[in-house]
Chains A and B, each alone.
Chain A
Amino acid sequence: MPYAALKSLLVLLALLVAVGIFAAEVYQALWVNLRRGRPSGAFGQWGERIKGLLIFVGAQWRLFRLPLPGLAHFFVFWGFLILFLTILQALLEGLLAFATPRFILPLIGRFGPLALLQDLFILFVTVAVLYGLYVRLVVNPERYQGSHKGQGVMVLAFILIIMLSLLVMNGVRANLGEDPVARWRPISRAAGLLFAGMPGEAQRIVGEMAYWVHLGVVLLFLTELPRGKHFHVVTSIPAVLLRNLEPRGRLAPAPNFNGEVGVGAVERFRWRQMLDFYTCTECGRCQQVCPAYASGLPLSPKLLMMGLREHLKESGRAHLDGGRQSQAQARVRPLIGGTVSEASLWACTTCYACDQECPLFIEHVSPIVDMRRYLVNEGRMDERLQEALANLGRYGNSFGQSERARARWAQTVQPKIKDARREPVEYLWFVGDYASYNAALSEATRQTAVVFQKAGLDFGILYEGERNAGNDVRRVGEEGLFEMLVEKNAATLSRCAFQAIVTTDPHSYNTLKHEYPTAVIGRRPVLHYAELLDQLITSGRLQFSKKLGYKVTYHDPCYLGRYNGVYDPPRRVIAATGCQLVEMPRHRDRALCCGAGGGRIWMEEGAVQERPSEARIREAANLRGVQAFIVACPKDLTMFRDAVKTTGHEDRLAVRDLIELAYEAL
C-alpha cells in the first residue's frame, strides 16, 4: 500500500480510537454521573453570563491574581484556541492524504496574518510551558501539595512536544517551499534553518516524523483529557457560563429526602455541584488561601474537590456494574467518613477565600455545608458544638444565657435606647449575640450606642425579642434551627416599624440581607454600622472633633468584605477619624479569616498548629509603626484580643473595634 493511503488509514484509525475513548469517558463523566445528581435550578441572566464568559474565560481574569502563572496560562489558553486550526489542518491533511498530496485548509490556510499569529503563539506557548515546567519542577510551591504533579508535568511535556513538532513541520515545509504563507512564519522558518542543510528527501522524512509525533501526541492528549484535571478544558466554559449568580452570602436551601437532610451520598449533590468536581484544575490557589489548611487542620478545598471527583467516578463505575450493583456499591467507600473526613468538614470557617480565588468559580463552601447538614441530621458532631446548638435552640444564643439577659449591656446607656418593638424607629439596630452577651465586648456595644446618639440617629433595639440571626447556625448545617430562628426574628420584626436595619456583626448583616424572607425586610436597606457611619460622615450628620493620628491597620471581616464587597466604607471611616491606614499584605478580598466563622467558634479547636488569628496578628506586627489593629466584627475583636496575648504582642498592638475609634474621635 502506498504511504499516502497508509497515512490516511492510520490517521483515521487513530482518530476513531482517540475520539472513541474520549467520547466514552465524557459520556460516563458528564452524562451518566451528572444525571445521577439532583436537578439544579433554572439558569437565567444570560447577558450577565455571556459577559462573564468573556471576562473570566476570555480575559482569564481571575488567573491574574497570581500574575506570572496567570500570564503563562493566558498564553496557553489562547494558544490552544488559535492553534486549534493547526490541529484541524493536520487531521485533514492526514485523512485526505490518499487523495490530496498536500492538503491546506481553504482560505484560512493561506491567510498570512493568521499564520503570523500562530507562529507567535507557538513561541509564547513554548515559553509559557517552559515557565510552567520551571514552576512545577524547580519552585514546587506549596499549593501543588496533593495535586497530581506527574500528570501536570506530563501534559506540559505534551504541549511542548506538540509545539516543537509543529515548528519542525512548519520549518521543513517552508524549506521545501510547500507553505504558501511561509514568509509569515518567521519563527518556524528559523526552526527550519536547523534542517536546511539536509537533502530534500531527508527533510521530507523528518517532516513526516514530526507530523506523526505531532498528531500522535495530540490524540494521546485527547484521550488523557477527560481523565484528570485537564477535563477542565471541556468543563470550564460550561462551569463559568453556569456559575452561581446568587449573592455570595446566600446559601442554597437544604436538600431534603423524606426527612433526611443534607448530602450523605454523592448522588445527592446537584449536578451543577458535580460539574465543579470535574472542573477542578488542581491549581491549589484555594489551598493557598485557606485558613484551615494553613493552621494545620485536615482541610484543603482543592483536595476536597479532587476527592469528590474520585468518589463520583468510583461510584459511577459501580453504578454501571449492572447486575452486581449492590455488591459494587458496597465496595465504594462511604462519602463521609471514607472519602471525606468529618474533621475536614468541620474545619471550614466558610470564609469564602477559596471560592473567591478559584479561576473557574468552583464552589467549595456549598458542598461542605451540604455535607455538614447531613452530619448534623445524624447527630455527628463534637460535644461543644452540640451544647452551643442546644443553647441556640432553647435560648436563642450560644452562651446558654437567658433571653431576658440579652439587653443587660444597655442598662447603663443614657438616655434609654428606644424599644423598637414598641415604637417606630428609623434604624432598627440588630445587635447580635456576641455584642450583647459577651461581657468583654459590651463596652464597645455601649460606645456604638453613644456614637449613634451623638449623630442624632433615631434608633432602637429589639431588647429580649432578638434572637441569633442564624448565619452561622445555617453554615454549621443546622438548617432546621436556622429556620426556627428566622421564624422567631421575622415574627418580631414584622411587628416593628423601621426604615432600615443596622447591625454590629457582619454575620447577622449577611444573613439578614440575603437569607431572610423578602416579606420581612422588603426593600428596606440592611447596613453594617461601618456603612452607616460612612453615610453619616459623608452627609455631615456625624462629625468628629478630634484627629486621632494613630497609625493603624484594618482587618476586613469575611462576611463584610469578601461576601459583601464592603471594603471602602470602613476605610473611609478610619480616614475620617484622622488615622493613617497601613494595609497588611493580605487585605481586602485576600484578608485572612480570624478562624471563628462557620460555627468554628462553637467547636473544639482540634489539632491546630498555628491559629489563623495568631498568624494574622504576626502579619500585622510586621508592619512598622502600626499601633492598632482595627476590626469591625465582635467575633474578630474577641479572637484577636486573645491572639495578641498568646503571641506576646499585647504591648505592641492594640486590638480595637472601628466603633472605638469613632467614639474616641467624637
Chain B
Amino acid sequence: MNPDVLVLVEHLRGEVADISYVMLAAARALARGTGGRVIALLLGHQAQELARDLAADHVWYLDHPALAEFTSDAYQRALTPLLREQRPRAALLGDTSIGAEVAGVLSARLDWPLVSRCRSVGADDGRLRFTSQICGGKVMAEGDLPGPTALVAMVPGGFRPDAGRSQQPPPVTPMEAPALEGLRVSLRRYIEPEAGDVDIAKEPLLVAVGRGIQNQDNLGLAEDLAAVLGAVVCGSRPVVDQGWLPTTRLVGRSGKRVRPKVYLALGISGAPEHVEAITDSEAIIAVNTDPAAPIFAVARYGAVADMLDLLPALTAQVQQAKGG
C-alpha cells in the first residue's frame, strides 16, 4: 500500500492560494502517521515556477495547454489516471471553488471515500484521524480517516499556511499529462472585480459590519467611526449580498483575507467562512447582541451590545479623545 499523501496545489492567475500551503502542512501531519512522503501535484501550463516554495518532498508537475487555467473537466481528466495508478493513502484537495469540484468527481469516478469540510487531519495513537466542521461551524465531526485511499477536501483553520511554505524549492518531476481532448468545460474569460477601491487586505485598521447593521442607512454610523479612526469599512457576506458594500469590501472565504492590526467586528456572528479570513489579525474586537456568538471565541476583546447604540457613542468618545 502506498503510504504517500498527495496534495493538489491550487493556483489562480499566477498565484498559489493559501489553502495549498495549509494542505501541505496538513499532509505533513498525516504523512508522519502513514510513514509516506508528501507529494504536491501541480497542474498547469508553463507554471513550473509556482512550485518554488511548496513544502513538499516532491512536486509532480503536469503541463498541458488545456491546464493553463483551471477547468473542472481538464483537472479531473488529468488527475484520474495518475491517482488510480498511485493509490496514495490520502489525497488532499481544497474545499473551494477549485478543489471541491474535482474532489467529488474523483470520489465517484474512482469509488474512493471523500471527507469534506475537513479542518484538520493527523495521526493519533497509530490511527489516522480527521476533524471536520459542518452546520455553519456549529458542529464538529471526528472520525477515522477512511481507507484504503481517502480523498480529503480541506478548509483553512487547522494549520498555519507558513507551515506549508518552504525556504528551499522542492524537487520537481515533470509528469506526462494525458491527452485532454473533448473537454466539456472551457474558460471563455475572466471577469475582473470592481477596480478603483481600497484593498482591504492591505489596511491596518478595519471596521467590519455584519447583519447587525440592519439596513443601508446605518452604514453611515460605521463610516463615521472609520473616519475618526482612520479606518476602512468592510463587511461580511450578508452585507455585501444586499449590495450595501461593494464586493471589494467582502471579508471571508469568498472575499478577501485580511491582516489588520485591529479588526473591529460589529454585528458579525463569526461564521467559519468569515473567521477564517480574519485569523491573521493582530487583535479582533467584537461587538454583538448575542453572547453566544462564535466571534467571541476568536476575539481578544468583546462586548455584548447593540452596535447601532454603541457606534455613535464610540465615535463621539474617540473624537473627544483625539481632542476634537
A and B touch in the complex (CB under 8 A): yes
A439's closest neighbor in chain B, by CB?
B289
What is the CA–CA distance of A439 and B288 in the complex, to the nearest angstrom? 13
A116 to B282, CA, bound (A): 95
Nearest CB in chain A to that of B290: its residue: A439
With A and B bound together, what is the CA distance between A605 and B214 in angstroms? 11
User: Is A426 an interface residue when CB atoms closer than 8 A count as contact?
Assistant: no
A residues within 8 A CB of B167? none
Q: Name the residue on A nearest B309 (C-beta).
A: A645
A residues near B217, Cβ cutoff 8 Å: 605
A interface bracket (residues with beta carbon within 8 Å of B): under 10
Tell me whether A605 and B242 are in contact (CB under 8 A): no
Determine whether A583 belongs to the interface, using a CB cutoff of 8 Å to chain B. no
Q: Select one of B215, B289, B309 contacting A605, CB under 8 A.
A: B215
What are the interface flags for A571-610 relative to B under an 8 Å C-beta threshold, 1 for contact and 0 otherwise? 0000000000000000000000000000000001100000
Shortest distance from the beta carbon of A651 to any chain B beta carbon, whole Å: 14
Residues of chain A from 121 to 148 with CB closer than 8 A to chain B in the complex? none
Q: Could you tell me the distance in whole angstroms from the C-beta of A280 to the nearest C-beta in chain B?
A: 35
> What residues on B are CB-neighbors of A383 within 8 Å?
242
A604/B242 in contact, CB under 8 A: no
- Which residues of chain A are within 8 angstroms of B309 by Cβ–Cβ distance? 645
Report chain B residues within 8 Å CB of A439. 289
B-chain residues with CB within 8 Å of residue A645 when the two chains form the complex? 309
| Those of A380-408 within 8 Å (CB) of chain B | 383-384
SS of B interface (majority):
loop
Q: What is the minimal beta-carbon distance from A627 to any residue of chain B, in angstroms?
A: 22
Complex CA gap A408/B278 in Å reads 33
Residues B206-222 near A (CB distance < 8 A): 215, 217
Considering only CB atoms, which chain A residue lies closest to B214 in the complex?
A384
Query: Is A604's CB under 8 angstroms from B289's CB?
Result: no
Complex Cα spacing A604 to B216, Å:
10
Residue of B nearest to A608 (CB): B217
Q: In whole angstroms, how far apart are the Cα atoms of A645 and B309 in the complex?
A: 9
* Interface residue tally on B, bucketed by range: under 10
B149 to A: closest C-beta gap in Å: 42
Tell me the smallest distance from the CB of A600 to a CB of chain B, in Å.
13
Q: Mark A596-631, 1 if CB is under 8 A from B, else 0.
A: 000000001100000000000000000000000000
CA of A605 to CA of B217, assembled, Å: 9
Give the distance in Å from the alpha carbon of A633 to the alpha carbon of B250 in the complex.
39
- A229 CA to B82 CA in the complex, in Å? 85
Q: Which residue of B lies closest to A646 (CB)?
A: B312
Tell me, in angstroms, the Cα distance from A645 to B215 when the chains sit together: 18
Give complex CA distance A383, B216 in Å: 13
- Chain A: CB-nearest residue to B241: A383
Rounded to whole angstroms, the CA-CA distance of A200 and B289 in the bound complex is: 93
B216 → chain A closest CB, angstroms: 9
Q: Given the complex of chains A and B, what is the CA–CA distance between A384 and B214 in angstroms? A: 9
Contact mask for chain A residues 521-550; partner B; CB cutoff 8 A; 1 contact, 0 none: 000000000000000000000000000000
B66-96: which have CB < 8 Å to A? none
One digit per residue, 1 when the CB lies within 8 angstroms of any chain A CB and 0 when it does not, for chain B 282-324 equals 0000000100000000000000000001000000000000000
Q: Quote the shortest CB–CB distance from B152 to chain A (angstroms).
A: 34
- Those of A435-483 within 8 Å (CB) of chain B: 439
Q: For residue B215, which residues in chain A have a CB less than 8 angstroms away from its CB?
A: 384, 604-605
Which residue of B has the minimal Cβ distance to A383?
B242
Whole-angstrom CA separation of A473 from B309 in the bound complex:
29
Please measure, in the bound complex, the distance between the C-alpha atom of A384 and the C-alpha atom of B289, giving whole angstroms. 20
- Across the two chains, which residue of chain A brings its CB closest to B217? A605
Closest CB in chain B relative to A442 CB, distance in Å: 13
A645 to B311, CA, bound (A): 13
CA distance A645 to B289 in the complex (A): 19
CB neighbours of B242 from chain A (8 A): 383
Question: B303 to nearest A CB, angstroms?
Answer: 15
CA distance A605 to B215 in the complex (A): 9
CB distance from A406 to the nearest CB of B (A): 17
- CB proximity of A520 to chain B, nearest CB, Å: 36
Q: How far is the CA of A393 from the CA of B215 in the complex (A)?
A: 22
Q: How many Å from the CB of A385 to the closest CB on chain B?
A: 12
A383 to B242, CA, bound (A): 9
B143 vs chain A, min Cβ distance (A): 29
Taken residue by residue from 228 to 268, chain B's Cβ proximity to chain A (1 for < 8 Å, 0 otherwise) reads as 00000000000000100000000000000000000000000
How near does chain A come to B200, taking the closest CB pair, in angstroms?
25
**B contact residues around A604 at 8 Å (CB):** 215
In the docked arrangement, what's the CA distance between A605 and B216, Å?
10
Interface string of A466-506 (1 = CB under 8 A from B): 00000000000000000000000000000000000000000
**Interchain CA distance A383-B239 in the complex, whole Å:** 13
Q: How many angstroms from the CA of A384 to the CA of B218 in the assembled complex? A: 15
Q: How far is the CB of B65 from chain A (nearest CB, A)?
A: 45
Contact with A along B37-67 (1 / 0, CB 8 A): 0000000000000000000000000000000
Query: What's the Cα separation between A604 and B215 when bound, in Å?
Result: 8
Q: How far is the CA of A645 from the CA of B313 in the complex (A)?
A: 11
Give min CB distance, A381 to chain B, whole Å.
Answer: 15
Q: Which residues of B contact A605 (CB under 8 A)?
A: 215, 217
Give the complex CA separation of A439 and B304 in angstroms: 12
A271 to B271, CA, bound (A): 55
- Nearest residue in A to B289 (C-beta to C-beta)? A439
Q: What is the bound-complex CA distance between A645 and B217, given in angstroms?
A: 16
Tell me the complex Cα distance, A604–B242, Å. Answer: 12
- Provide the bound-state CA to CA distance between A604 and B309, in Å: 19
B34 to chain A, nearest CB (A): 44
CB of A603, distance to nearest CB on chain B (Å):
10
Residue numbers of B with Cβ under 8 A of A are: 215, 217, 242, 289, 309
A-B complex: 4 closest residue pairs judged by Cβ atoms? A604-B215, A605-B215, A605-B217, A439-B289
6 pairs across A/B with beta carbons < 8 Å? A383-B242, A439-B289, A604-B215, A605-B215, A605-B217, A645-B309
